[in-house]
Amino acid sequence: NSSTKPPPTPSPLRFSKFFQSNLRILVTGGAGFIGSHLVDKLMENEKNEVIVVDNYFTGSKDNLKKWIGHPRFELIRHDVTEPLLVEVDQIYHLACPASPIFYKYNPVKTIKTNVIGTLNMLGLAKRVGARILLTSTSEVYGDPLEHPQTENYWGNVNPIGVRSCYDEGKRVAETLMFDYHRQHGIEIRIARIFNTYGPRMNIDDGRVVSNFIAQAIRGESLTVQLPGTQTRSFCYVSDMVDGLIRLMEGEHTGPINIGNPGEFTMLELAEAVKELINPEVEIAKVENTPDDPRQRKPDISRAKELLGWEPKIKLRDGLPLMEEDFRQRLGIPRKN
Ligand code: NAD
Ligand code: UDP
Ligand code: UDP
């Protein structure tokens, strides 16, 4: 029967597992915000070897400086839109700019990163028999017509808008993941990440939490984009990393929402930053950008049930944890 699929080629890595017990883990985009925190956590386990590939578009070597030179760590300058040959057991595929000002800067490149980059990582996963996790996004729900968003919701995404390179790019990346899973038996995991914040966020990437914290430290007005009643749910980065690792280690493909269900308007967020970081700053209302989703809040029942995961850090506890890191990078020490 000509339609019978040939048996999968035995991978050299599977063979090498007889001889070594270390787990070799590839993290694409590992020099970025979430990626570098993930690397820190993975490196804590002495059985893990970590390889990071990154093109440094929005990430930096600085985020990984404590690991450079470590015998279980390797850093490779590489763009995931080009093929990559490495031998690994697991792939955390994060490479992709996450902030609107960066992903809109070169939208065609953003699509290539999501589509060709994910295709390459799936081709790699297929060749070596690795398990692959994609960091997808709550943006696949677009400007959602269901609230809160469950994984079964298909989304309300503008296919031709200025955010589409990212939203539709991630949607195709998810499709590719499932097609490689169904067609080639690849072990996949998909996390739908909701807004995440913490130390090492890019200071000037225009995201709301990093903007407000930097503004509060500089003594500038907090720029709430109109109408200010739009909502987001913010997850502290250590909770996020914990969720991603549980998803990778667990038995479920996903997609699974990983985020903090605490929902805040942008005005409430500004009030909290003002109170916690600098009560003297003012709150200013400014113009918004097109296609801004009006509300966003994850339903995390699936993560709770299937991964035993839920976030531990509340927004009011997480915000102050960013202050010291931002002050150091801005060169503005705390008074007194
Ligand atoms: P980030 O911009 O800090 O990190 C992305 C990393 O990918 C950077 O180090 C960047 O240099 C690298 N990169 C970008 N394009 C690349 C390419 N073509 N080849 C190789 N490396 C490339 O962003 P982040 O916040 O750490 O986000 C990480 C992942 O999580 C992304 O996939 C993002 O879409 C997803 N995500 C993040 C959030 C969030 O709130 N931060 C929300 C939803 C989804
Ligand atoms: N690929 C890669 N590293 C590998 C194996 C494949 O980057 O170790 C890339 C490869 O260049 C291709 C993509 O992954 O563009 C998809 O690979 P696959 O084998 O699924 O498809 P094909 O090469 O048959 O088009
Ligand atoms: N926002 C804001 N002030 C800023 C930056 C952003 O009020 O200085 C608002 C923005 O309009 C959006 C929300 O904060 O409603 C989250 O924006 P961000 O770019 O951080 O993330 P995303 O839109 O991707 O969720």
The token pair at 113 is 């990163």
User: Of the given ranges (11-20, 180-189, 247-256, 265-274), which has the lowest mean pLDDT?
Assistant: 11-20
Measured in angstroms, how far is the CA atom of residue 7 from the centroid of ligand 3? 49
The torsion angles phi and psi of 65, rounded to 5 degrees, stand at -60, -30
Q: Which atom of ligand 3 is nearest to the CA of 296?
A: 25
Helix (H) or strand (E) holding 222: strand 222-225
Residue whose CA lies nearest to ligand 2 atom number 9 = 120
Task: Compute the average pLDDT of residues 146-172.
Answer: 95
Which pLDDT value is given to residue 290?
Answer: 80
CA 79 – ligand 1 centroid, Å: 12
Residue 83 alpha carbon, nearest atom of ligand 2: 7
Report which bound ligand comes closest to the CA of 136: 1
Per the DSSP assignment, residues forming a β-bridge with 91 are 26, 132
Asked if 266 contacts 323 with a C-beta cutoff of 8 angstroms, the reply is no
| Residue of minimum CA distance from atom 21 in ligand 3 | 207
Q: What is the CB < 6 Å shell around ligand 3?
A: 100, 195, 206-208, 211, 223-225, 230, 232, 266, 288, 292
ipTM: 0.97
Which residue's CA is the nearest one to ligand 2's atom 23?
Answer: 123
pLDDT tens for 205-254 read: 899 999 999 999 999 999 999 999 999 999 999 999 999 999 999 999 99
Pocket of ligand 2 (CB under 6 A): 83-85, 119-120, 123-124, 126-127
Kindly write down the DSSP assignment for every residue of 260-299, as one continuous string: ---EEEHHHHHHHHHHHH-TT--EEEE---TT--S---B-
pLDDT digit string (tens) for 263-288?
999 999 999 999 999 999 999 999 99
**Catalytic residue list:** 166
- Which amino acid belongs to residue 52? V
Let me know: does 97 contact 202? Beta carbons within 8 Å: no
Single pTM value for the model: 0.94
Report pLDDT for 6. 55
Residues 34/196, Cβ–Cβ less than 8 Å: yes
Does ligand 1 have an atom closer than 6 angstroms to the CB of 224? no
Residue 151: name the closest of 142, 166, 141, 163 by CA. Answer: 141
Mutation choice for ligand 2 from 11, 120, 177, 186, CB with most ligand atoms inside 8 A: 120
pLDDT, mean of residues 156-175: 96
